[in-house]
Chain A
Amino acid sequence: MSDKLLVSTRKGLFTVSRKAREWEIAAVDFLGDNVTLTLSDRRDGTHYAALDHGHFGVKLHRSTATGWEEIPTPVYPPKPEGYEEFDFWGRPLNWSTARIWALAAGGADEPGVIWCGTLPGGLFRSKDRGQSWEMMRSLWDHPLRKKWNGGGADLPGIHSICVDPRNSKRVWVGVSTGGIWFTEDAGASWSLRGDGMRAEYAPPEQTHDPIAQDVHCLVQCPAAPRRMWVQHHNGIFVSSDEGKAFSEITGVEPSTFGFAVVVHPRDPDTAWFVPEIKDEKRIPRAGKLVVTRTRDGGKSFDVLTKGLPQSHAYDIVYRHALALDEAGERLAFGSTTGGLWVSENRGDSWECVSHTLPPVYAVRFAG
């Protein structure tokens, strides 16, 4: 079980460690800076941190024996002379990394490989622990990529990356908004997946178009990779065939709207969500912060409340801010209002580590 959390916030990266029985803030790095995401690479123990300096752009840092070092940020290729492309609002689309929205380690058989998803939609791969990056032109140049729209941000972006534990050449990415994309040849070619998802915000002729789907978060069960779960803009969807077809899970109280989902590493039927009132309010229902858990593939859900605020809570939990450790026992999540909670019993009860952190963007267990 993991005893360490990396908590990315608007004002720094907080390392939270388990001391005796309690979880405490053990270190703060990049204090005052906007840390948007981390990756803890279990293959070699390296940590990666994405920062957004606003004026000065997006940066990446990698842990060293004594601290952190800045490494290159993925760079978009030069836009061809005379070529122009426009976003959803008709503004010129700048081919430039606007946010790092996904970081994932490659397979166990490819040490040093790191995947990086960005806004406005570029997917990059490094083969040397982030020292250099190669854009997946096959996906960027795919004609359907231009149908991606802003969802979670003004610009479209890749927020979820799943590398098949059976075969590292097979990779799925989740796009908001642009559905689920799959490669089985390490990025040489890509195809759109996700039949069965439903976009209630789209006109009728596009409701079931896989590319119109605003996937908020996509996860894959490591021990049963055919099982994938999606927290979608208007619901929860589950697939048992590697994302080819999805079924909608309905009737879940208090809501099926949310951003995050995690799946148990060995039990594909067990997954957790943090529901909110959809979509125009985005606050917990009745001011009660809850986690929902299914242990039967979505047939039924537990509403987990023990240790969580049940009155006047307005916490939002972003898509990368819910985490599960590799053992599948410990969970943690952080909120936009600076709360951080940990559970050591699969969500049955929760301990508040802090409710005065800066807004939390991402929570990850470290190896």
Chain B
Amino acid sequence: MAKVIFTPNVQRHIECPEAEAAGQTVREVLDKVFAENPQARSYVLDDQSALRKHMTIFVDGRMIRDRARLSDSVGEASRIYVFQALSGG
């Protein structure tokens, strides 16, 4: 199962503990995590379920490429970091 770690900065607004979920893509993993923590979803994804403009996701140290569909693949033991992008200021 992949492990998902959220930026500490979001914890001030909403509790986002580390979570584990199975899935072949970032989308599949995050959908499962947000099913358990639905209020956190809108802090990371926009209305079209794309990654928010000033957020970024790294899978095993590599920034994802597909910010709209989150189709980047995820391994059995991947670590997914959901971070703020510096572009947000």
- Residues of A whose CB lies within 8 Å of any CB of B are 53-57, 59, 70, 73, 75-76, 78-79, 94-97
Contact = CB atoms under 8 A, between A and B. Distances in A.
A52 to B, nearest CB: 11
Given A70-B39, A73-B42, A56 B47 contact: no
Main secondary structure of the interface of A (DSSP, over half): loop
Nearest to B10: A56
Nearest to A58: B42
Interface stretch (B28-36, B48-56, B57-65, B71-79): B48-56
Contacts of A59: 13, 42
A70 B39 CA distance: 9
Contacts of B52: 55-57
B46 to A, nearest CB: 4
24 contacts: A53-B13, A53-B43, A54-B54, A54-B88, A54-B89, A55-B52, A55-B54, A55-B55, A56-B10, A56-B52, A57-B46, A57-B52, A75-B47, A76-B47, A78-B48, A79-B48, A94-B46, A94-B48, A94-B50, A95-B47, A95-B48, A96-B48, A96-B50, A97-B47
Interface of B: 9-10, 13-14, 39, 42-44, 46-48, 50, 52, 54-55, 84-85, 88-89
B15 to A, nearest CB: 12
10 smallest A-B Cβ distances: which pairs?
A96-B47, A96-B46, A76-B47, A56-B43, A55-B54, A55-B88, A55-B84, A75-B47, A54-B88, A57-B52
A76 B48 contact: yes
Contacts of B46: 57, 94, 96
Contacts of B39: 70
B88 to A, nearest CB: 4
Nearest to B85: A55
A211 B88 CA distance: 33
